[in-house]
Structures are given as structure tokens and as C-alpha cells.
């Protein structure tokens, strides 16, 4: 369904996607480029490519998956790969699967029939190397002057910005697993434990709930570290009187959650902490309430920011209101267009006061519905009273 939508939108142009190469060291996990994963579901084939060839007169060759040749010795180390054949075709849902050594011959045939070559991979920054598809299409155009390159870089991000019901359910599952980890962490946090032990408690909870690790490196920042947006050392002892900002999410079936809660190490918010916390909470709840089809993240940001500015802390809300969520934590969803039904976004205002070693961020995962929104993470304690109860 996804590939058919992309193929139709190409309007006869050829397009190609790259899974990416694996140069991982021992102990790291390879994932393909999210565009490739989104359109194939293949997550264990470094060096793979997906070709869209809509003008091919043979229907089963309008989508071609290219895989690297098998290496029995390498497979002894990295895992057994399936041979080409009907079993592999059925598992990936693509009828034409070739080895990458056939790519040159196939591209020559494509260029003989197609004058337009579409870029589907994200565009490179000015000083960065060209995207793989742009680099490849440039070579084709040099050898076939009748061909031209057309920009379709926003095609797949636009598709990814609207999640299917199955995708939303998978994200909900990841959020539910995250809720287990946060519940464990809230019960565990106390003076004297290390930030990393809090991280370990989170991730153990994810695993016991069925998760496959974290969607991104967890942020567990206490005291002054709660004011550092992407703090990642997670190596400070928790101290009574401090807040600890926990930004994390479970990973499940290719998708992840992204939740932030800020909690008091002592189990009880001080008067000052409660003051700042409730300003952020008011801004977050107003922003969530505004989520609906047709609104932009920029407009939602303005609503939340107005509340924080009117409270006198506008200079201390130093980031945007949120982002799309999906195969990536910051999901590639194209330009900041109005939200559509099926979009999943984070809402995460914050106030950061380094001089007071006091930072507060609250974040929930929200799906846009036909008439409004649904908070996927509403079960995770968020009010002052609910957090203090969970920590008691």
C-alpha cells in the first residue's frame, strides 16, 4: 500500500532508496534509513536498495529490491540470510529481488525508458556529500543526456507524517511500555541513588513490559543537569531538594515513545518547584487542547509560549513545542505543514533556570484524530498530586 502510493505519486519518474551501509562496531545495532524501512519493513540487509520503476512494461518489475550477495563466512558472524526465492519474496512482499551487482544493467534499461529520475532520499546540507540517490542519478544523467533529475524529497516524509492505525497502535504499545518504566523510576528515585541507576530502572521496566530497549539514549538530569536539554552523562548522585528531569521512551517494533516527566528527588515538590512546574503544566495542557487537524506546530508553540511569557519566563523556554514521532524520535515528516488526522506529535514545553539549578519539562505523545486529539501517554502521572502519590 505504501509503495503503491509512492509509485503513483512519482508520475512515471524512477526513484531509488538506500538502506545504508553497516560499519557498526561490536555491540552496536544497525538500522536502515527510515525511508527504506518504512517502504520495505526490511531491517537486516545493509547495502540494500529499493528501485521504483513505474514505466517498466512488466508489472512485477516496477518495484525491485536489490540485496548484497551472500557471504557464508560473514553470515557465521552476523546471522544467516535467506537466499533469493519465493520464501524471501513472500516475507518482504516484493516479487522481484535481485543482487546489487545487477543494478548497473537495470539502471541502463530504466534510463532508456524514463526521462525523469526522482530524488527520494533527504537532501544533503550545502557542505555535506550529495545524497546517495542524487549522486547516482548524476552519473546516469552524464551518460544519458535525455534524463533529468526531479525533486521528490518531500514525498516520503509527507506520507510518513500521517500514521496508519497499525502504526498508531504500535506507538501506543511503546508508550504503555514506557509507562511501566516511569512507574518503576518514580518508585525508585530517592536521595543517594545515581542518575544512571534511574536510567537502568527505566530500561528494565521497558524490557519487562516487552520493549526492545530505549528509542533514544535516556536523559536523566537532576539538579543543574535538569536545565541541560540533551544532558546524557547520567552520572550524578540524586540530592534531596533537587528535581530530576527524565526524558525517555521504550522502543518497540521499529517505533518509539518520547515522554518527559520532572519529579522531586524527595518525593515532594517545594513551593518554588511547584510554582514553575504548574506554569509548564498549564502551558502543556493548553497546547495539547489545541491539537487538531489543520493547526501547525508553530501555532501550538505560540499558545504555550504565550502562557510562559505572561508568567515572566519567556526567556527560559528555549526550544520548540515538539516534533513528529514515529520510526525516528524526531520523525522525518517534511515541511511544517498543518497537522492531519493520523499525525503523532510530542508536546513538550519547559522552563530552565540554571541560576536556581531548576529545570522543568513535561512531554506527552499526542495523536491527531478526526475532530481533535488523543493523549497516548495520559496514564503516566503528570500533575503535582499524581506524581507525589506515585512516589509516596
Q: What CATH number is attached to the domain comprising 364?
A: 3.90.230.10
Do 141 and 255 lie in one domain? The reply is no
Q: How confident is the model at residue 245 (pLDDT cuts 50, 70, 90)?
A: very high
Do 171 and 49 lie in one domain? The reply is no
Do 111 and 192 lie in one domain? The reply is no
> For the segment 318-333, what is each residue's pLDDT rounded down to a tens digit?
999 999 999 999 998 8
Tally of structural domains, the chain: 2
> For the segment 97-141, what is each residue's pLDDT rounded down to a tens digit?
999 999 999 999 999 999 999 999 999 999 999 999 999 999 999
Q: Which domain holds residue 269?
A: 165-391
The CATH number linked to 79 is: 3.40.350.10
Q: What average pLDDT does range 43-50 have in this prediction?
A: 95
- With a pLDDT cut of 70, the percent of the chain lying above it is 98
pLDDT reported for residue 27: 60
pLDDT reported for residue 350: 98
Do 270 and 372 lie in one domain? The reply is yes
Torsion, Cα 282 286 289 290, to 10 degrees, reads -160
CA distance 131 to 151: 12
Q: Whole-number mean pLDDT of the chain?
A: 96
Beta strands per DSSP E along 82-185: 96-99, 116-119, 148-151
Looking at 160, 175, 209, the residue that finishes a domain is 160
Q: Is the pLDDT of residue 28 over 90?
A: no
Q: How confident is the model at residue 24 (pLDDT cuts 50, 70, 90)?
A: low
**C-beta contacts of 130-138 below 8 A and 24+ residues apart:** 132/18, 133/15, 133/16, 133/17, 133/18, 136/16, 136/107, 137/16
CA distance 283 to 279: 6
Do 177 and 263 lie in one domain? The reply is yes
Q: Is the pLDDT of residue 371 over 80?
A: yes
Amino acid at each position: 500500500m505504501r509503495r503503491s502510493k509512492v509509485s503513483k505519486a512519482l508520475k512515471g519518474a524512477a526513484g531509488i532508496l538506500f538502506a545504508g551501509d553497516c560499519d557498526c562496531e561490536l555491540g552496536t545495532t544497525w538500522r536502515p534509513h527510515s525511508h527504506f524501512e518504512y517502504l520495505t519493513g526490511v531491517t537486516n540487509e545493509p547495502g540494500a536498495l529499493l528501485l521504483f520503476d513505474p514505466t517498466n512494461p512488466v508489472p512485477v518489475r516496477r518495484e525491485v529490491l536489490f540485496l548484497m550477495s551472500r557471504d557464508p563466512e560473514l553470515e557465521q558472524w552476523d546471522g544467516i540470510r535467506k537466499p533469493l526465492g519465493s520464501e524471501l519474496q513472500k516475507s518482504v512482499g516484493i516479487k522481484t529481488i535481485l543482487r546489487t551487482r545487477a543494478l548497473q544493467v537495470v539502471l541502463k534499461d530504466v534510463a532508456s525508458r524514463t526521462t525523469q529520475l526522482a530524488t527520494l532520499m533527504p537532501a544533503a546540507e550545502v557542505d555535506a556529500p550529495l545524497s546517495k540517490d542524487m549522486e547516482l542519478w548524476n552519473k546516469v544523467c552524464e551518460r544519458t543526456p535525455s534524463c533529468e533529475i526531479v525533486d521528490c524529497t518531500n514525498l516520503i516524509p509527507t506520507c510518513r507524517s500521517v500514521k496508519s492505525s497499525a502504526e498508531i497502535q504500535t506507538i501506543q504499545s511503546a508508550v504503555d511500555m514506557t509507562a511501566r518504566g516511569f512507574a518503576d523510576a518514580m518508585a525508585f528515585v530517592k536521595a543517594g541513588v545515581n542518575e544512571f541507576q534511574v536510567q537502568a530502572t527505566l530500561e528494565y521496566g521497558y524490557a519487562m513490559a516487552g520493549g526492545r530497549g530505549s528509542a533514544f539514549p535516556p536523559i536523566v538530569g537532576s539538579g543543574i543537569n535538569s536545565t541541560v536539554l540533551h544532558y546524557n552523562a547520567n552520572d550524578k548522585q540524586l540530592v534531596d531538594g533537587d528535581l530530576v528531569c527524565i526524558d525517555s521512551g521504550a522502543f518497540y517494533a521499529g517505533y518509539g515513545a518520547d515522554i518527559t516527566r520532572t519529579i522531586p528527588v524527595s518525593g515532594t515538590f517545594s513551593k518554588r518547584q511547584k510554582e514553575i512546574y504548574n506554569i509548564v503544566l498549564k502551558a502543556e495542557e493548553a497546547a495539547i487542547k489545541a491539537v487538531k487537524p489543520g493547526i501547525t506546530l508553530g501555532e501550538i508553540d505560540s499558545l504555550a509560549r504565550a502562557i510562559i511569557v505572561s508568567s515572566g519566563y519567556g526567556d527560559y523556554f528555549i526550544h520548540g513545542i515538539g516534533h513528529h514521532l514515529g520510526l525516528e524520535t524526531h520523525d522525518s515528516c517534511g515541511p511544517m505543514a498543518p497537522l492531519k488526522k493520523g499525525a503523532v506529535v510530542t508536546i513538550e514545553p519547559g522552563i530552565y533556570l540554571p541560576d536556581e539549578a531548576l529545570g522543568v519539562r513535561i512531554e506527552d505523545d499526542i495523536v491527531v484524530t478526526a475532530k481533535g486529539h488523543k493523549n497516548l501517554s495520559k496514564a503516566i502521572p503528570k500533575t503535582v498530586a499524581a506524581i507525589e502519590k506515585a512516589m509516596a
